[in-house]
Structure 1
């Protein structure tokens, strides 16, 4: 695959960064990794079919974060994270949409209808409760996740998240909350920036128009959720002294 993309892309500028191994053809290598992954998924599907298990297997393909920009990944060339590449913090490690909004593909012959879509608001921690629901195990109480099985089966999703919450101590400290169409985000917490930006994702998925001044009641609600959901960590590098952690 690398050779194929070397021929396709032509001459490249080598990657000589410090944090990853040097790479003479970073674009070709990146594309080859994607193609190899796709090929491996095909191998898994083929093996399931050979074993007669495909019709009784749920396959979920997704990611835990948006695309990276490190290690020589040429994000402008591949147009990664479009349409979210409009501001600082559009990629992995940030809590703007480019860092946390990812697609999820599910295949389950005879159960999930082909070419169906859902805009159900979910998070990665919904996968485990979903699998428990499918195999008939009780969903543990110590999880914020809910089962997506009704959505997968195109039934009415009676259980829905009231909100989603994220926090991440990297990149100067961040918090984010999603409530319906509203998204609130704090950044640079370690620099004592406790202001909350507010975006209407129904009309502004690029998070360009900060509406915090126009909707102080929504900001207040989001701030209350941030305060409620933040739990001080026992690990020093995950502590937020600016939020009162000791």
Structure 2
């Protein structure tokens, strides 16, 4: 009744249309399904709605047109494993249990995750893709952290190959016919992963589900079958037919379009099952882009992942560092009837914020010690005053530290180096160090950094020799026949 009254008020012009979107966000009968598709290393500017002249992403563009696009979303870390920990646990890098990027550092035993919270809420929970938060026989395996099933790669070195001899499902090996690692084989692993994700959605259509898709493309060895439908979108393009362009560049572009097609297939499946109106679909990158495929003519990479194709201005740095190029990610969300179509937000947030956000959107109860804040009010078009504001965002990786507070960002590239200060509102490319002009700002943000850091407490391996974990890492290049 409350929903009907609000809709009636909108029709009469008594309330703005997005007022209904923020009200009644969770049905008491069935909370919304969650599909979270996260591409590995897809950069902020590598999408056609960002004006990219070479890469085709019509389905992602359509999702943005039907939902909300965030312009200041950032990764929880500039590399794979730590950011997955930040996303799943709601902890920033000063508190996270996984801060190394070795692919094997585990979550601590019994550490709460988004999946464990949603399972307590009555959700079916499935993960499909690259885990990165603990190898086999560790305290960090996904089935011990809320996932009913996880199918894909537990170790990220294993995930570099699309033709491994096997994938993992709940810590057990699933053979892939005709494969032995490397760059060739009969069974393309990503196809199997997407098939399992679709099966999970079909199998759980009658109950709320969390479908977490931290897929590997376009990262790793840049391989895609020559008959993948993505290639059709590049037929007749001169740069694709140019023999001077490395094949890996062409493969990379096709892999991004393959991901785009995957998004379209998932949304088509939701429509087929009549679940489209009660499913929140997220599409994101994981960390900032890497300036891959560089040469003299293309110093920021052939595809310019961190360069605005319209202005030729770009983010400084890239993957593995804490400049904006390593942190800024694409982030698009749609939920028919709840998120206003064609919305755009400059709210600054990062991966730790997803845990409390999904708690709000689903009516679940999160732990009380999260570092993140919910961005649900912004997603749902609430009045700006409803969005909680934070003091700062915090990162550390290896010897680097960074803090953002409002328009200001400080970075210290090494423990004994001087802090650098940038005004992101005027200088998003981080070209002008203002530390000497604003020492009081530097001191304030450096204080936040000092308060945010705690010594890391990672999980452990039940098998000290890490036998099965090491086997998975070796599977990238295969085993002797």
Residues 1:130 and 2:357 aligned together: yes
Distance in 1, Cα, partners of 2:315 & 2:346: 23
| Secondary structure of the structure 2 residue equivalent to 1:218 | helix
The higher-RCO structure (CA 8 Å, 6+ apart) is 2
Please tell me whether the aligned partners of residues 282 and 331 of structure 2 are also in contact (alpha carbons under 8 angstroms): yes
Following superposition, the deviation at residue 6 of structure 1 comes to 8.3
Question: Which digits, 9 at most, give the CA deviation of each residue in 1:1-48, with x for residues without a partner?
Answer: 45865863211355xxxxxxxxxx111110011000000000000000
Which residue does 1:180 correspond to in 2? 406
Which residues of structure 2 form unaligned runs of 5+? 1-229, 459-481
Question: Which digits, 9 at most, give the CA deviation of each residue in 1:146-177, with x for residues without a partner?
Answer: 111110111133312210000000xxx21000
Distance in 2, Cα, partners of 1:133 & 1:212: 38
Which residue does 2:271 correspond to in 1? 49
Which residue does 2:439 correspond to in 1? 216
Question: Which digits, 9 at most, give the CA deviation of each residue in 1:172-220, with x for residues without a partner?
Answer: x21000000000001033xx32x10000011000001100000000000
Distance in 1, Cα, partners of 2:255 & 2:328: 21
Distance in 1, Cα, partners of 2:352 & 2:389: 13
Distance in 2, Cα, partners of 1:64 & 1:4: 25
Distance in 1, Cα, partners of 2:441 & 2:367: 31
Which residue does 1:164 correspond to in 2? 393
Distance in 2, Cα, partners of 1:158 & 1:55: 24
Question: Which digits, 9 at most, give the CA deviation of each residue in 1:33-80, with x for residues without a partner?
Answer: 100000000000000000000011111111221112358898532121
Which residue does 1:11 correspond to in 2? 243
Which residues of structure 1 form unaligned runs of 5+? 15-24, 236-246
Query: Which of residues 303, 306, 314 is equivalent to 1:78?
Result: 303
Please tell me whether the aligned partners of residues 249 and 293 of structure 2 are also in contact (alpha carbons under 8 angstroms): no
Cα distance, 1:205–1:102 mapped onto 2, change above 3 Å: same
Question: Which digits, 9 at most, give the CA deviation of each residue in 1:71-91, with x for residues without a partner?
Answer: 88985321211246465xx11
Query: Could you state the TM-score of these two structures normalised by the residue count of structure 2?
Result: 0.43
Distance in 2, Cα, partners of 1:81 & 1:187: 20
Over aligned residue pairs, what C-alpha RMSD do you find? 2.2
Which residue does 1:22 correspond to in 2? none
Please tell me whether the aligned partners of residues 5 and 28 of structure 1 are also in contact (alpha carbons under 8 angstroms): no
Which residue does 1:200 correspond to in 2? 423
Q: How does 1:13-52 map to 2 (within 5 A)?
A: 14=246, 25-52=247-274
Distance in 2, Cα, partners of 1:201 & 1:27: 31
Please tell me whether the aligned partners of residues 3 and 28 of structure 1 are also in contact (alpha carbons under 8 angstroms): no
Please tell me whether the aligned partners of residues 315 and 325 of structure 2 are also in contact (alpha carbons under 8 angstroms): no
Distance in 2, Cα, partners of 1:226 & 1:41: 38
Please tell me whether the aligned partners of residues 176 and 183 of structure 1 are also in contact (alpha carbons under 8 angstroms): yes
Please tell me whether the aligned partners of residues 66 and 102 of structure 1 are also in contact (alpha carbons under 8 angstroms): yes
Which residue does 1:232 correspond to in 2? 455
Query: Could you state the TM-score of these two structures normalised by the residue count of structure 1?
Result: 0.81
Which residue does 1:110 correspond to in 2? 337
Q: How does 1:61-100 map to 2 (within 5 A)?
A: 61-70=283-292, 75-83=300-308, 85=314, 87=316, 90-100=317-327
Distance in 2, Cα, partners of 1:39 & 1:183: 36
Bigger Cα Rg: 2
| Secondary structure of the structure 1 residue equivalent to 2:349 | coil
Which residue does 1:60 correspond to in 2? 282
| Secondary structure of the structure 2 residue equivalent to 1:117 | strand
Distance in 2, Cα, partners of 1:108 & 1:95: 31
